[in-house]
Structure 1
Amino acid sequence: MDQKHEFLLSRRQALLAGATLSLATTLPVFASETLNALQQEGTIPMTETYVTTKDGVDIFYKDWGPKDAQPIVFHHGWPLSSDDWDAQMLFFLLNGYRVIAHDRRGHGRSQQVSEGHDLDHYAADASAVFEKLDLRNAVHIGHSTGGGEVARYVANFGEPQGRVAKAVLVAAIPPIMVKTEAYPGGLPIEVFDGFRSALAANRAQFFRDVPAGPFYGFNRDGATVHEGVIQNWWRQGMMGGAKAHYDGIKAFSETDQTEDLKNISVPTLVMHGDDDQIVPIAASAEISVKLLKNGTLKVYKGFSHGMLTVNADVINPDLLAFVKS
């Protein structure tokens, strides 16, 4: 082996060692040791694969944990992927649950198709995954656009099929984000037109500005800015397709989910930060909980739209308490 290849090999070894050390210091020591031990024993099977929908779209999903454990299912927000649930999937995995998350069509590792970027397809695609896995007694947790996906899935697939035990809407878009006659407190359509213009002009820069600013509240005075969180948001966004992201703006802003909420009867926890600059609480959570038959609202003072990531130490135990309740 020549000197150049020796250098590359040693540098690769150093990077791997550094990544291992980073993971060990990121997870609590007991959690890291527990996860390693369970994997070595073979009691936590970890698989990643695809399911093909009725209209021929390949949807990527993760399915980790004991197959006989209660499933906790995660639905990600726009324009991200199932990776946005890392903190929750590891948390629930280590608490003995089976955890499942998928990448929405056009997002993450799922197929970048041209059409079908609307909540009806989102819910049907999700259902294709859960029907393949034959999930029962599942708790569905959705963030932002994923919360809209949960509402449509539970109302139209999950409850009719008897697959859902509970639901959680976190900083979620229902009942509708855009201002309408029925919901005059919504945001003007010009806000979403601005999103479309920014995405079409320079998606990479737009996907840097959103997490660096309002998404995690990093634009607030005194905020602790996490550069890695910003970069990870950008990475997830740029993995997906521009067409899916462009069409997705209409899906998450202009879809009226009033009837979805009214048709959900399972216990539903609505979680929202009162400093959410992306989905304002007054036009979303405070209305949604009144439309739900069995809803509970939990408000987090000063928390941002991205509280699942930057406040996981608070949110995760509350999610667990709701699942166990």
Structure 2
Amino acid sequence: MATFNTKDGTEIFYKDWGPKDAQPIFFHHGWPLSSDDWDNQMLYFLGKGFRVVSHDRRGHGRSTQTDTGNDMDTYVADVIELTDKLDLKNAVHIGHSTGGGEACRYAARAKAGRVAKVVLAGAVPPIMVKSDKNPGGSPMEVFDGYRNALAANRAQLYLDIASGPFYGFNRPGAKVIQGTIQNWWRQGMMGGAKAQYDCIKVFSETDFTEDLKAISVPTFVIHGDDDQVVPIADAALLAIKLLKKGELKVYRGYPHGMLTVHADVLNPDILAFIKA
């Protein structure tokens, strides 16, 4: 099992598969999941000759269940330490949901030559929470509801999210995949409750506006128009306006967890973007 210790002593679990001289792809997972959420993509791109890397964010998965440092700047500092340790250059950074915010901030701050391209999938930037400056955002009550439910019964909350809005399994006629629900629940329950509670504030209130403006490499923004978790109107449709070299693709009817339930469509699209 590959792990490394950050400067503050947090143990971070990571996967690093494939030829070390191949172009790297670094995958950033969403809340409250782990690097396992990228199994499909990591195997797919490994088969295409890439070096594939992903980590369990601090407090998530097999990494230390931290009670401090659960903020976006620290998350990104951890990624910087890991990419330095592995000496990843000319890498493609792909982030989903909260991981999209992490990938965005990393790309904005990375050393020259570290990042070749970025993919933001169902990602939270620019900012989720509703405010005077972001009137189309989700009300704070939504995120307070997550916090209250997590504190009351985290196991039930995670079952409800995976069974319902995350994959669109609550839509009429949806094909419900029990293994996918159980795998989501398994990943969520591996992490620490305190870190995951704190991360709700991180993914909802972190403002990535300046990060988006600072990204200088080609960026592929992909989003489902039936995303019930990160609504497209106040995410991808705003983010694309802030990017210097952004490309937007909207997937009709696709849910937040589209990378899992529609991997057969999305993986080739991402590959085409990387090779373009």
TM normalised by structure 1 equals: 0.84
- Distance in 1 (alpha carbons) for counterparts of 2:66 and 2:147: 19
* 2:83 counterpart residue number: 130
* 1:60 counterpart residue number: 13
Deviation of 1:195 after TM superposition, in Å, equals 0.3
- Distance in 1 (alpha carbons) for counterparts of 2:158 and 2:195: 14
- Distance in 2 (alpha carbons) for counterparts of 1:122 and 1:290: 25
Could you say which structure has the larger radius of gyration? 1
Q: Is the 8 A contact 1:75 1:143 kept in 2?
A: yes
Which of 19, 24, 39 aligns to 1:86? It is 39
Which of 156, 160, 163 aligns to 1:209? It is 160
Deviation of 1:112 after TM superposition, in Å, equals 0.7
| 1:170-319 matched pairs, under 5 angstroms | 170-319=121-270
Which of 72, 87, 100 aligns to 2:53? It is 100
TM normalised by structure 2 equals: 0.99
- Distance in 1 (alpha carbons) for counterparts of 2:210 and 2:96: 19
Show structure 1 runs of 5+ residues with no match: 1-47
* 1:24 counterpart residue number: none
- Distance in 1 (alpha carbons) for counterparts of 2:269 and 2:77: 29
- Distance in 2 (alpha carbons) for counterparts of 1:166 and 1:126: 16
Show structure 2 runs of 5+ residues with no match: none
Deviation of 1:54 after TM superposition, in Å, equals 1.4
Aligned residues: 276
SS in 1 for 2:165: helix
- Distance in 1 (alpha carbons) for counterparts of 2:213 and 2:135: 19
- Distance in 2 (alpha carbons) for counterparts of 1:270 and 1:50: 30
* 2:73 counterpart residue number: 120
Map Cα deviations across residues 126-160 of structure 1 (whole Å, 9 max, x no partner).
Answer: 1111100000000000000000000111111x2x3
Map Cα deviations across residues 220-256 of structure 1 (whole Å, 9 max, x no partner).
Answer: 0000000000000000000000001000000000011
Q: Is the 8 A contact 1:278 1:305 kept in 2?
A: yes
Q: Is the 8 A contact 1:51 1:128 kept in 2?
A: no
Deviation of 1:162 after TM superposition, in Å, equals 2.3
Deviation of 1:274 after TM superposition, in Å, equals 0.2
* Larger CA deviation: 64-73 vs 160-169: 160-169
SS in 2 for 1:209: helix
Deviation of 1:161 after TM superposition, in Å, equals 3.6
Q: Which runs of 4+ in 1 moved over 3 A?
A: none
Which of 235, 248, 271 aligns to 1:320? It is 271
Residue 215 of structure 1 aligns to which amino acid in structure 2? F
- Distance in 2 (alpha carbons) for counterparts of 1:234 and 1:188: 25
Relative to its length, the structure with more helix (as a share) is 1
Deviation of 1:76 after TM superposition, in Å, equals 0.1
* 1:147 counterpart residue number: 100
Deviation of 1:53 after TM superposition, in Å, equals 1.0
* 1:13 counterpart residue number: none
Map Cα deviations across residues 27-72 of structure 1 (whole Å, 9 max, x no partner).
Answer: xxxxxxxxxxxxxxxxxxxxx4111111111111000000010001
Higher relative contact order (CA 8 A, sep 6+): 2
Deviation of 1:183 after TM superposition, in Å, equals 1.1
% identical aligned pairs: 70
Deviation of 1:180 after TM superposition, in Å, equals 1.3
Residue 40 of structure 2 aligns to which amino acid in structure 1? A
- Distance in 1 (alpha carbons) for counterparts of 2:171 and 2:231: 16
- Distance in 2 (alpha carbons) for counterparts of 1:214 and 1:294: 31
- Distance in 2 (alpha carbons) for counterparts of 1:180 and 1:172: 19
Residue 229 of structure 1 aligns to which amino acid in structure 2? T
Residue 122 of structure 2 aligns to which amino acid in structure 1? A
- Distance in 1 (alpha carbons) for counterparts of 2:106 and 2:194: 23
Deviation of 1:194 after TM superposition, in Å, equals 0.3
Report the aligned-residue RMSD.
Answer: 0.6
Residue 163 (1) aligns with residue 163 (2): no
- Distance in 2 (alpha carbons) for counterparts of 1:54 and 1:179: 35
